[in-house]
Amino acid sequence: MSKLRISLSCGNYDRTQALFDGRAPIEGCEVTAVPLEPEEAFHRAFRYHEFDVTEISMSSHMMTTARGDNEYVAIPAFISRVFRQSGIYVRTDRGINTPQDLRGKTIGVPEYQITANVWIRGILEDEYGVKPRDIKWVRGGIEEPGRGERAPIELDPEIDLKQIPDDRTLSDMLASGEIDGYIGARAPSCFLRGVPNVGRLFGDNYIEAEKDYYRRTGIFPIMHMVGIRKSLVKENPWLPVSVYKAFIKAKALATHELNEICHLAVTLPWMVHHLNDTRALMGEDFWPFGLEANRHTIETFARYHFEQGLSKRQVKPEELFAASALDLSKI
């Protein structure tokens, strides 16, 4: 039996590296693997459906699933997760000292719908009572002008969202004080350059804020998952389990290497110490795959997504995934 030829695209993270170097092969497949930055992979996947297996945005996948026009079905391999209290940047000369001080302020977003911003808005409302309608939103490119939404969105009329001029960027506007803050997955260059009066809302204490959030909620926010072209799954129903098993193996190899103190796998001097601290807070499997271990996190995101007007109905977690990949524990 000849192997199925498939294309794969995702970030070359430590937890996916074994898929690129062959240590975690996909059973029954001959794989052409292309490492890409997530934004490029998302654009090429959702606009042109270029890849058979690809890293996908949780927000975009939930949006298309709710509409019933998703070209991909996911497996519960969550290859990007980030706490997002660190993703809120503000002018430090505007009296913004707490999340509640964001009310009435003008805050920039690269896209309203991106996963990181869904999480941040949800956290602001759940944890601090700051609703999306309490903020004036402006949208545009962080470093390059002219960015808009990846897919059309229809928001509640109460949401004040405006596009910035096509020749401006959010980073420049934050640096000049034309906007009061910015939220997003990437740090704006004005912050990285140390521009005066630009800082994180939670300052140097953002890690403690994120740890406290985890202790209270048990949520380690999911950003990206892995999608498989639905048409390919229909023709090859065995494929989701094969792909999922490969991603599980790749993550296991990466986690094992983090614990190797003889020769450090990551260019950080106290990596094993960081690993042990993380396990003390979050448990042995601090980056879990699978639906049940992540059900509360996915349900919380689905609620945020619906409440923020990005999905027309609240999606059930099971709808996002290939059913066979959810029964892997029984194999």
For the stretch 112-166, pLDDT in tens is 999 999 999 999 999 999 999 999 999 999 999 988 777 788 899 999 999 999 9
Please state, in angstroms and rounded to a whole number, the distance separating the CA atoms of residues 56 and 194.
32
**Residue 47 pLDDT > 90:** no
pLDDT at residue 147 in the model: 84
**Residue 249 pLDDT > 60:** yes
DSSP 8-state class, residue 196: T
222: closest CA among 114, 294, 275, 278?
A: 294
Considering 196, 217, 238, which residue would you say is the last residue of a domain? 217
Confidence of residue 330 (pLDDT cuts 50, 70, 90): low
Distance linking the first and last C-alpha atoms of the chain:
23
Burial label for 10, CB within 10 Å (0-12, 13-18, 19+), is: buried
Same domain, 131 and 250: no
**Residue 30 pLDDT > 80:** yes
Task: Tell me which residue range forms the domain holding 28.
Answer: 4-81+223-329
Instruction: Please say whether the beta carbons of 147 and 111 come within 8 A.
Output: yes
Confidence of residue 1 (pLDDT cuts 50, 70, 90): low
DSSP 8-state class, residue 321: B
182: closest CA among 80, 83, 111?
A: 111
The mean pLDDT value for 176-199 works out to 98
The mean pLDDT value for 289-293 works out to 96
Say whether 320 sits in a helix, a strand or coil: helix
Model pTM? 0.96
Confidence of residue 190 (pLDDT cuts 50, 70, 90): very high
Q: How many domains does the chain have?
A: 2
Q: In this structure, what CATH number is given to the domain that contains residue 52?
A: 3.40.190.10
Same domain, 118 and 137: yes
pLDDT at residue 148 in the model: 78
Instruction: Please say whether the beta carbons of 226 and 10 come within 8 A.
Output: yes
Please state, in angstroms and rounded to a whole number, the distance separating the CA atoms of residues 91 and 68.
41
Same domain, 72 and 130: no
CA distances for 253 relative to 63, 129, 142, angstroms: 32, 41, 35
Average pLDDT over the chain, rounded to an integer: 95
Same domain, 92 and 207: yes
Same domain, 272 and 195: no
**Residue 232 pLDDT > 60:** yes
Say whether 77 sits in a helix, a strand or coil: strand
Q: In this structure, are strands 29-35 and 4-10 parallel, antiparallel, or unpaired?
A: parallel
